[in-house]
Amino acid sequence: MQRPYFKQNPQDPKPLSIIIERRVLFNELDPLNIMWHGNYASFFEQGRIALGQKYGCGYTDFYDHQVLIPLKQFHVDFKSPLKFNDLCIIETFLHYNEAARLDFSFKIYCNNVFTTSGYSVHLMIDKNKNILVIKPDFFEAVCDRWKSGILA
């Protein structure tokens, strides 16, 4: 059993989640005929985009409110390699946080086998690249709906 990447307090709402499918493309392979490690970032990215669109807290939502969400940390744990044409299930979670940051974790399954996990942490900055210490109003409203169970 893998340890959770992010600590969850008892009063925190359950993580928001989404499941998407994605095939491994030929151009994503390395000379060993397995998916090159750098391409896992795009799998996680697709999960983040889908989750943000589902819950109203995606890249464009932040951008429309003059907020950018650059990557601060990125981590991958490889269990078994992905191969050409594998149909993968990408499970993406957004973990609740009181701070002005986004904590995502990811799990990838292929043929019902757990193959990969990882996480990314994103800061919130304004257009002048100042780090925000409080959540922008629109995202605070998303968090309020999340805490009240409306987004579950």
Q: What is the pLDDT of residues 44-64, one digit of tens each?
A: 999 999 999 999 999 999 999
Residue 40 has pLDDT above 90, yes or no: yes
- pLDDT tens-place string over residues 111-140: 999 999 999 999 999 999 999 999 999 999
Look-up: residue for tokens 């979670």? 93
| Arithmetic mean of pLDDT, 9-19 | 96
User: Average pLDDT over the chain, rounded to whole?
Assistant: 96
Confidence of residue 1 (pLDDT cuts 50, 70, 90): low
pLDDT at 2: 79
Contact 88, 140 (CB under 8 A): no
Burial bucket for residue 120 (CB in 10 Å: 0-12, 13-18, 19+): buried
pTM of the model: 0.95
Q: Which residue ranges form the domains of the chain, and what is each CATH number?
A: 16-147 (3.10.129.10)
